Structure 1
Amino acid sequence: MENGGRILWNRVSHFCHIFRREGIFMKLDLPIELEDGTVEIATKKMDFAAFCRLYQDRERFLPYCRECPNYGTVWSCPPLPFDSGEYFRPYREILVFCARITLNPLVIERADTPELVKKKGYEIVIRVKKQLEDHLRKMEEEFPHSHSLSSGGCNRCCRCARAKGDPCRKPAIMRYSLDAFGFDLTSIAKDLFGYDIEWCRDRLPAHFTLIHALLLPAGSLNFLGNQQDFSRKARM
């Protein structure tokens, strides 16, 4: 019990430096480097069963995945090689992360062709996405039996081994996407964080919004009390 208590205290002490209370808010200290704009990270703690009831609709959203080139060719994407109900069974809490990327107006102006819009948009999103994934994997190490979920298809390899019917080359860092389980990312972004998801059209949007999550057993975040809203803005 003494060793277990020491481990728990060390974990809580460590995360008190990440979640810092300021008035009614708590700041989330997860630095994200981005040269092309600013990144604001917010997070919400929720009961996982309630989150699933509100935002998971496999019958509605998974058919859209079938229209994506990642379907059946990227391991983070559908069809998943397991039963999602069994996969989620150990988890009782969810910490939902929203990375709100605000692009520098000059970056938007310079991306003046469809090719540049696609290339620059992809580069910005992937740069932020990979850093947030790395932060959440570090949080997994601090919270036993936790597991993170990402946004969109995995981008850790140039070409996923699944396309050739081979196992994942990097299972230690590959994370499944929330959309692969039929979660409504648009409603999550709007309801929990007040953001509309913007898309690339003929120009880069003013913002990109990424939704990630950390799944946890019951009681993992008790040291945060009842506080559920956190935010941090990093300007690079």
Structure 2
Amino acid sequence: MNTYQTGSFTKQLNNTQITIHYKQLEINTIEISSYLNPTEFNAYCKNGCPNHSQKWTCPPNCPSFENYAKDYSKISLYLFYTSPNQLKEVEDKALLAYNFIKEELQSYLRQIEPENGKMIAANSCELCTTCGLVLGKECHIPDKMRYNLVAFGFNVSKIMTDLFQHELKWASKDQIPDFVSSVGALLKK
């Protein structure tokens, strides 16, 4: 079993201090391959995500993970999670909390991205208001564009349970989960 580092920190969201917990794990890149199934997970993107075929970073435009990661021997995975119940008097606590930690993770990964490494984002690219793909153009800022684990075809839920012993929780109209989670990574030489 792999061991991971844990911790927590606080960040301000509107007028509330939010505690964000994290887990971090570094493994050999080859070890993550067992969680990869682009046929299955890209089908979910195609059938359920409005970004499919609309962004350079989303299927079917995403390269294969094997090709993208071929020059990197290590992958550091980062899990951020927080309780939406920390937010008071907010209509959609779960969505706000999820978007908040997703952006915090995204920002953190960009800050620590090694010069000889590559970030794998926590979500689809949101750098441009309208992706160049929709406009029939190349990416506007290819040096900053990053793909995400889901776009490569990873089973992120299984990564969370197997590698972090962390169960993915889903919100529903009537149910706020105990916590919301986001996962990203860094490829390293």
TM-score (norm 2): 0.82
Answer 1 or 2: higher relative contact order, Cα 8 Å, separation at least 6.
1
Task: Give the fraction of aligned pairs with identical amino acids, expressed as a percent.
Answer: 26
Structure ranking higher in helix proportion: 1
Q: Does 1:101 align with 2:79?
A: no
Please state how far the C-alpha of 1:137 moved relative to its aligned partner.
1.9
Q: Does 1:124 find its partner at 2:104?
A: no
Which residue number corresponds to residue 41 of structure 1? 22
Distance 1:213 1:198, change over 3 A: same
Counterpart CA distance in 1 for 2:4 and 2:132 is 43
Q: Could you list the runs of 5+ residues in structure 1 that have no partner in the other structure?
A: 1-23, 218-236
User: What's the RMSD between the two structures over aligned residues?
Assistant: 2.6
Q: Does 1:215 align with 2:175?
A: no
What is the CA–CA distance in structure 1 between the aligned matches of 2:32 and 2:7, rounded to whole Å?
21
Q: For residues 1-236 of structure 1, what are the structure 2 equivalents within 5 Å? A: 32-34=11-13, 35=16, 37-52=18-33, 54-67=34-47, 68-80=49-61, 82-104=63-85, 107=88, 110=89, 116-117=91-92, 120-140=93-113, 143-202=114-173, 203-217=175-189
Question: How many residues are treated as equivalent by the alignment?
Answer: 183
Going from structure 1 to structure 2, the CA distance change for 1:130 and 1:188 (only over 3 Å counts) comes to same
Q: Looking at CA atoms only, which structure, 1 or 2, has the larger radius of gyration? A: 1
Q: CA deviation at 1:31?
A: 6.3
2:59–2:151 CA contact under 8 A, matched in 1: yes
Q: State the partner residue of 1:20.
A: none
Compute the displacement of 1:83 (Å): 4.3
Which sections of structure 2, spanning at least 5 residues, go unmatched?
none
TM-score by length of 1: 0.67
